A = this chain, B = another copy of it.
Amino acid sequence: MSDYEHTCMIRGDGGKTIRAILDQICNKWTLLIVATLDRSRVRFTDLHQQVPGISQRMLTLTLRNLERDGLVLRTVHAEVPPRVEYELTAIGRSLLPPALALAGWAMEHVPQIEASRAAYEQRSSPGR
């Protein structure tokens, strides 16, 4: 499928559905968690430690959404103390390449963007 067709998809309405899904994926923690689940099953506490700065609440909520959308599989082991492991499903893994492509883009352009911001500040507050 061509870039142009993709463009149409992003813009066209009923793209409401797309937007909703993109919003979900692009929120504060989702990409981070999906990236962390790459190549391994991880249990709740480990995830909590490996994702720097996330609260227990947001970790739970984000994982529930991912599970609900079928991107993450949640496995509860009937033990005591309880053990719960999370892993990517096939769909979840298929998200990785495009997500990482976007992250890669961000990485590569940080210097240019920051330079552009600095220049912009100069222009808008020259006396300061």
Contact = CB atoms under 8 A, between A and B. Distances in A.
Copies in the complex: 2
B28 A23 contact: yes
A2 B107 CA distance: 14
A11 B32 contact: yes
B22 A31 contact: yes
A86 B32 CA distance: 32
Contacts of A97: 3, 101
Q: Is the interface of A mostly helix, strand, loop or mixed?
A: helix
A103 interface: yes
A45 interface: no
B103 A101 contact: no
A11 B51 CA distance: 7
A105 B113 contact: no
Contact of A106 (B21, B39, B109, B114): B21
Q: Which 3 residue pairs are nearest across A and B when measured between Cβ atoms? A: A26-B26, A70-B116, A6-B100
